[in-house]
A and B are shown apart, each in its own frame.
Chain A
Amino acid sequence: MKKLGLCLAAGVATIAATALGAMSITGAGATFPYPIYSKWFAEYHKLHPDVEINYQPIGSGGGIKNVTDGTVEFGASDGPMSEQQLKEYKEKHGFEILHFPTVLGAVVPTYNLPGVNAELNFTPEALAGIYLGKITQWNDAAIAKANPGVKLPAADIVVVHRSDGSGTTYCWTDYLSKVSPEWKQKVGTNTSVNWPAGLGGAKNDGVAGLIKQTPNSIGYVELIYAIQNKLPYGKVKNEAGNFVKADLASVTAAAAGAAAHMPADFRVSITNAPGKNAYPISTFTWLLVPSQIKDPAKLKTVKDFLVWMLGPGQKMAENLDYAELPAPVVAQEKKALAKIQ
């Protein structure tokens, strides 16, 4: 008995002592930028081995909720917080929460159509119709018209959406609300909506996984998830009438207009942006940082990380198919860093 007790105590001591001394900052939120964030935090850790920034991708809704609850130290979301949510945060904490854009990304319609290798073109009407549950067959005229020469199967469309609270959903529904009055009235824009049709997958990778495994499915994911999983994704018709494929150039084009007129709190929507090469389902993604951080060491680290992110961090974005922030935005953000105290 005594020996057991000693072993137990020794075990507890060694286990509890792992990695003592490292500063750990916990954040949670969007899965949309998770690939670049996990790369950034891993690289930052290599540069500063005593800093561990633990980021958990639980969905934008989770990021907003947890940072408001105070259970994580920063959040991340690709759907900007609403006025109501900002007010709630201020009421709970007494100070404001700040949005800091990190990268630009695209939400793409990705699909799994056995036998169809071509890149499909999607009109806004087609996407809205599919997600409203009104267009139910792949060979429906609304889709076929935009894809002459492609043999679409007479199969049921399996619609996939997010089952968790998602900024990717926010961007997608924001776009659909802009292009379809019926969608706007029936469903609306939010991180979590009452979907008229479809299966739910958890997080971006859950949706990608579901599409991969389900023939005749369509879903929406952040660009990098489609690329990394070798899923085909379609072109979307933009406001200027062109079918544009999501890539760095088209996403950057979408942000061009916003960059010049960026509001002070950085909350802006760039879906269905004007511009002949603009990709219509693009979005900024934000880190949600409290404007007051009590611990001076953590305050310094957070600011330091944000500066690094706006500098060397931006260079890593391209490799993972996210677009860098436009220069005016970077400059404006660097100034805004002073707001964190």
Chain B
Amino acid sequence: MSSVPLAGKGALPSGRARAFYRRLRAGEELAYTIAATAAASILVITALIVIELYSQSALSRSKFGWSFLGTSVWDPVAGTFGALPFIYGTVITSIFALLIAIPLGLGSAIFLSEMAPARISNALTFLIELLAAVPSVVYGLLGIFVLVPFLRETLVPGLIKPALGSLPVFHGPFYGVSVFTAGLVLSIMIVPFIISVSREVLLAVARDQREASLALGASKWQTVWRVVLPNAFTGIVGSIFLALARALGETMAVTMVIGNTPQIKASLLAPGYTIAAVIANEFGEASGDLYRSALIQLGLVLFGVTFVINGMARILILTTRKGAHA
């Protein structure tokens, strides 16, 4: 039971009962029980969540089965529900966000860990970590009133359309709200995660590796590129997974700028819909058990995906971080 070796006491052969009584009087057992109860309640709460998701989606799961994931029709009138447009929207916005956030985040992390002097690095890191604290709805606010008009009036007609308009990903009319806009907002929201974790992982690479490289005459950048990064690679990939998991579950900022249209289009400029956004918009009024069950099934899908990605992130980061921090 108790893992603390009470220095031989309580090891008396017939004294196990006596030892227990002594611990009980000393308040040990009570303390242990309280602590264990708290820990157990975490298990209970998590179990409740999984059970609730699973059981409440039973109706929809039994009706649609795995084809739920492949159907692209979402028709509350006819009672046909398919997750594909939302899965597509969720994946596309997140991947697009990563495409922007990874170079930006990695570049910043490299600067902060390798290139900048310590004081500047700490100050800038402090500020960048504050970005992670900005609430999602505030990002949404800026998205609607600043980013959307800017994209619609300036950036897309002025830069994107002329330069890239012939590509299928930038094809079609642009209304301001779109997958593109949502991806941009998401990228800013996840960049701090990539930066702070990557920076730590980079800092954790053993000093003598760097010094050996520099001693051989390599420049700082060469050291980074050839020595530090390969060493930190797993951890950096972990940070990307972490950022991805965050992006997948993001609700408010996305629903405010994505256009809320369940469709699958090749163009990033088209409006779309994500799993989190459709649940937020339609759960409040899903009358009819099948409708509600389908939405909860969507929640289950999202939960499953973020669980897997988070798990991979933890493994990757933990293996790199072991023994590396003070």
Report the minimal beta-carbon distance from B286 to chain A, rounded to whole angstroms.
6
A234 within 8 A of B: no
Residues of B within 8 A of A88 (CB): 287-288
Are A58 and B76 interface neighbours, CB within 8 A? no
Per-residue CB proximity of B270-287 to A under 8 Å, as 1/0?
010100000001101111
A156 within 8 A of B: yes
A163: which of B77, B281, B287 is its contact (CB, 8 Å)?
Answer: B281
Residues of B within 8 A of A201 (CB): 260
Closest to B74 in A: A194
Interface centre among A64, A188, A192 (most CB of B within 10 A): A192
Closest to A217 in B: B175
| A158-B78 in contact given A61-B285, A68-B287 (Cβ < 8 Å) | no
Residues of A within 8 A of B73 (CB): 194
| A64-B260 in contact given A193-B77, A194-B75 (Cβ < 8 Å) | no
Residues of B within 8 A of A200 (CB): 259-261, 271, 273, 281
B177 within 8 A of A: yes
A62: which of B148, B149, B173, B284 is its contact (CB, 8 Å)?
Answer: B284
Cα distance A200–B76 in the bound complex, in angstroms: 15
Closest to A202 in B: B281
Listed by A's residue number, 25 A-B pairs whose Cβ atoms lie within 8 Å are A59-B284, A61-B286, A84-B288, A88-B287, A158-B173, A164-B285, A165-B285, A165-B286, A187-B77, A190-B77, A192-B76, A192-B282, A192-B285, A194-B74, A194-B75, A199-B261, A199-B271, A200-B259, A200-B273, A200-B281, A201-B260, A210-B177, A213-B148, A213-B176, A214-B175
Closest to A161 in B: B261
Are A194 and B76 interface neighbours, CB within 8 A? yes
| Residues of chain B whose beta carbon lies under 8 Å from any beta carbon of chain A | 73-78, 148-149, 152, 173, 175-177, 255, 259-261, 271, 273, 281-282, 284-288, 292
Cα distance A191–B259 in the bound complex, in angstroms: 19
| A156-B77 in contact given A65-B285, A200-B260 (Cβ < 8 Å) | no
Cα distance A85–B289 in the bound complex, in angstroms: 11
Cα distance A187–B259 in the bound complex, in angstroms: 20
Cα distance A65–B284 in the bound complex, in angstroms: 8
Report the minimal beta-carbon distance from A267 to chain B, rounded to whole angstroms.
16
Are B285 and A188 interface neighbours, CB within 8 A? no
B77: which of A60, A62, A164, A194 is its contact (CB, 8 Å)?
Answer: A194
